[in-house]
Amino acid sequence: MKKIIVANWKMAPASFESAKKTFRAIKKTADKLHNVQTVVCPPVLYLRELGASVTGHRTVLGAQNAFWNEEEAHTGEHSPDMLVRVGAKYVILGHSERRALGESDVMIREKVRACLLSGLYVIACVGEKERDAHGGYTKFIANQVRQSLPKINMGKQLLGNIIVAYEPLWAIGKKAKRAASVEDAVEATIFIKKTLVGIFGKDAVNIPILYGGSVNDQNAGEFLEQESVNGLLVGRASLDPETFSRILTARKK
């Protein structure tokens, strides 16, 4: 199966020129890979112009957020349909950095629903703040999965557009001490898959589960070797095209 590797550029790079250069360099490698779906999620301002350099389907674009409503009176927001029109195929929702700004499970659920109905692939992020010795974090993750996904009657079509990213907060960003171990990631991805099957039934077994948090060119290969890890969500290491290209090509099997 193809692995999905997502670049989350967050609020970088500072200039469009640099974004264009980085995107083109990534695309050069990514376009050659038949076993990887590459998704670059730049700041929303760059989407339309980067979209002009997209050719084919191996390297595509995504957004980092969307609003749940198509009505006009929502200052500062972007509707899922607008994102589709400027070339986004995917959208990251419920990232911990947005949850930290006050996004609740309910808001994320509404966003997931609206984006699915607009035809976007949704990358819904979940992950615990810390791990306790008694396994309480699994309850937390299960609850987040249940609360962050809409209970609409999802046919196979909509279900096929959901991706879940397991991103433990303790492993994300500059302050993280380390990435999750491969064992941590495998355990959590299998657990999330079981939770999804519990909610949506057996078709949910095909929902891809990604790992994110301090992924780099040294550890990517190990994660990608795992059958239960269907891809990666990469932050810092996705802004350097050489490092990110090594991540894209790290898969051994």
Residue ranges in contact with ligand PGA by CB under 6 A: 8, 167, 172-173, 176, 212-215, 233-237
- Catalytic residue, candidates 70, 97, 167, 225: 167
Q: In the complex with ligand PGA, which residue's Cβ is closer, 54 or 176?
A: 176
**Angle, alpha carbons 49-231-212 (nearest 5°):** 85
Provide the minimum distance between the beta carbon of 190 and ligand PGA in the complex, in angstroms, as a whole number. Answer: 21
Residue 18 beta carbon to ligand PGA: minimum distance, rounded to whole angstroms: 18
Task: Count how many residues are written for the chain.
Answer: 253
CB neighbour list of residue 115: distance below 8 Å, 6 or more residues apart:
66, 80, 83, 91, 93, 122
First and final CA of the chain: distance in angstroms? 10
Shorter beta-carbon distance to ligand PGA: residue 158 or 179 = 179
Known catalytic membership, residue 95: yes
Give the C-alpha separation, 172 to 74, whole Å.
30
> Residue 90 corresponds to which tokens in the numbers above?
């995917």
167 is catalytic: yes
Q: Give φ, ψ of 146 to 5 degrees.
A: -60, -45
Residue 123 is inside which H or E element, if any? strand 121-126
**Nearest CA-CA partner of 243 in 193, 156, 142, 235:** 235
Q: How far is the CB of 51 from ligand PGA (least distance, A)?
A: 22
Determine whether 203 is exposed, middle or buried from the number of CB atoms within 10 Å of its CB (0-12, 13-18, 19+). middle
Give min distance, CB of 239 to ligand PGA, in A. Answer: 9
| Complex with ligand PGA: residue 170 or 191, whichever CB lies closer | 170
CB of 125 to ligand PGA, least distance (A): 7
Residue nearest to ligand PGA (CB): 235
Separation between Cα atoms, residue 212 and residue 159, nearest integer Å: 21
Residue 7 tokens read as: 């670049």
Active site residue: 74, 95, 128, 222, which one? 95
Q: Catalytic site residues?
A: 95, 167
